[in-house]
Structure formats: C-alpha cells, structure tokens
Structure 1
C-alpha cells in the first residue's frame, strides 16, 4: 500500500474541516438507544460539525470465524461528519465515547455495547500500528457500505473505489 501520512496526524487541530466517516454498531443492551446516544455525542464533539447519520440496519454478527447466526444481532449505522480534529484525536474521541457506553475490549470481534470505527478521514491513507485509514475491511462489509451509501451515494473509499460499486459487488449485482 502506498502510505501517505495525514498532515498533522497527532498535531493541533486543522485549519479547515475534513470529512470523516464513522461506522457505529451495537449488539448488546439497548442497541437503538446506545446508537442514538453515541450520535448525540458525535454531534457534541469539539471542532466537529455537520454530522449526518444513516438509518440503522440490523445485521448478523461477524466473528473471527465468519457470520454467527446464534450471536446477538447488530444494529449498524454510518455517520458522515466534518471535523478539524486530527485523525488520532478523532479516534481517541471515538474510544472515549465507546468507554462511556460500557465498551470493554476483551475479545477481538466479540459482542459489544458499542463499536465506533473510523472508516475514512478525507482522502488520507494512514497505516500505523494504532490507526489504519481507510479501515482495512470497510470495502468488504455490507454493514458499513449499505448505510454509508444511504447518506452519501457518491462516496468513495480512497484506494478502493465508489462505495455504491463496492456494495453492488458484494451483493453480486450489476448496478
């Protein structure tokens, strides 16, 4: 992968806003209420504005072993926002929101009260131990692509292509 580190990755706020995409998911507890509360917190983030959110969709849980029909089902949504926060500070903010909603990181791809993933940050391509953007599996996740295309039909994943085309490919259609 050609890596172009974001300008000011860990630096002070940017002078102009950058579009960012955040995937939201929950499969434990009061899922709809948790997602709504997380969206409210996204809207209150410092240096962040114009938060638009898809309608939630319900999906089967995806684990390390694939789809698990027996696990609690997820509610998933996508938020598109404008932010002057650096990518690292936005990610830290997402982790703080998760923690306030009881997220515990015990098991990779385990059940969770809230999952917030930074999917894209402008057209930046970042590959660090603590942050990879665009999210490395977003292009193969219908639960990310379907809600994202709902609110931004012309969206693109840097290095991967149009979200609508990626979604059509996953669904096996010729759209």
Structure 2
C-alpha cells in the first residue's frame, strides 16, 4: 500500500475551490485532511497570501512517480503555469513524502525527489501536517526527525506566518 503526504496550496483565483479539487480527486483514497491555513508567501516573491493544507492518501496502485503524475494532472486541471520560481499559482500540489508499507521512499531521480527537499524548512507544510498527524516524521539528511521537532526549530516569524482559518475542506461520504 502506497501512502502519500501532499502539501496543497493556492493563491490565485478561488483558492479554497482549488484545494477542494484535490480532496475531490482523491475521493476514497483520502485518509486525512488538515485544517486550512492562510500563509504568507515563501521564497521572497511579492504576492498575495496562500491557502494551504495537507492531505494524506493511500493507493495500492501508485508509487512515487504515479503520485507525481497524479499531482501534475491536478495542477494542469487548475491551469497551473510554471513560471516564476516560488511565484503565484492557481494550485500547487507537492509530494512531501511517500511510503510503501512501512518504508519511506527515497528518490533522487531527475523528476522526483523524495522526501521533498525543502519540507523541513516550511512552516506551511509542517503545521498542517502536524495537525493531521501529530506523530509524523520526516527524513532529513538521512535521519527521521519528528515533524514537531522540525517545526520547533523554525524561526517564530515563519511559524507565525501560518494562520488557522475557519475554512474547511469537505470530505464526501
């Protein structure tokens, strides 16, 4: 069974609907959905705030490359244009980590780097992830570290830039 942690975000158009499109596409593969957070942009590009969340899903048919293709299809359906690095986007779907059973997938392929190489530096990933999976761990420089510890190591202004909203992503069923 393949399990994925996806970080989803949007800062263009109907941001909540863009995030909801990911939840809807996952359908019965969805295992958990974090609260929705409004977050300051990351990466130094002047732009509006993002809505961000983390979702966890499982699918016995998908591996890391399959999850990547799935994420890219969702971005394309949302008219994502890959322009400026860390720039505004209709939808961003990042694979944070993929596991095959109890084994975390490590990949340094040309198109697929797992776990996500910057996830441990991003409060907008760690805060929603911890909210939905308090025991989560992430491999950083070859060692698994608790998400709670990674989050505590971030600067307070980074953590403060991630604000809980009253918005909710609907789960069918």
| 8 A contact 2:5–2:97 mirrored in 1 | yes
The separation in 2 between residues aligned to 1:164 and 1:19, in whole angstroms, is: 20
> Contact 1:42 / 1:51 at 8 angstroms: preserved in 2?
no
- Secondary structure at the aligned position of 2:149 is classed as helix
Determine whether 1:92 maps to 2:108: no
1:52 is aligned to 32
Indicate yes or no: 2:87 matched with 1:110: yes
CA contact (8 A) 1:52 1:81 kept: yes
Q: CA deviation at 1:170?
A: 1.0
CA distance in 2, matches of 1:128, 1:170: 28
Stretches of structure 2 that go unaligned for 5 or more consecutive residues are 157-173
**Residues 120, 133 of structure 1: 8 Å contact kept:** yes
Matched, 1:166 2:150: yes
In the TM superposition, residue 108 of structure 1 has moved relative to its aligned partner by 1.6
- Please say if 1:75 is aligned against 2:33: no
Give the 3-state SS of the residue equivalent to 2:81 in structure 1.
coil
Q: Distance in 1 between matches of 2:30 and 2:83?
A: 33
Post-superposition shift, 1:125? Answer: 1.0
Describe the SS at the equivalent of 2:117. Answer: coil
Residue 37 of structure 1 and its aligned partner are, at CA, apart by 1.6
Residue 157 (structure 1) aligned to one of 130, 133, 138: 138
Q: Which runs of 4+ in 1 moved over 2 A?
A: none
Counterpart of 2:126? 145
Contact 1:139/1:160 (<8 A) preserved: no
- SS of residue in 2 equivalent to 1:61: coil
TM-score, normalisation: structure 2:
0.81
**Residue 5 (structure 2) pairs with residue 25 (structure 1):** no
State the 1:171 CA deviation.
4.5
Question: How far does the alpha carbon of each residue in 1:98-125 deviate from its partner, in whole angstroms, 9 at most, with x for none?
Answer: 1001101122211000000011011111
Question: Under a length normalisation based on structure 1, what TM-score does the superposition of the two structures give?
Answer: 0.80
Q: CA RMSD in A?
A: 1.4
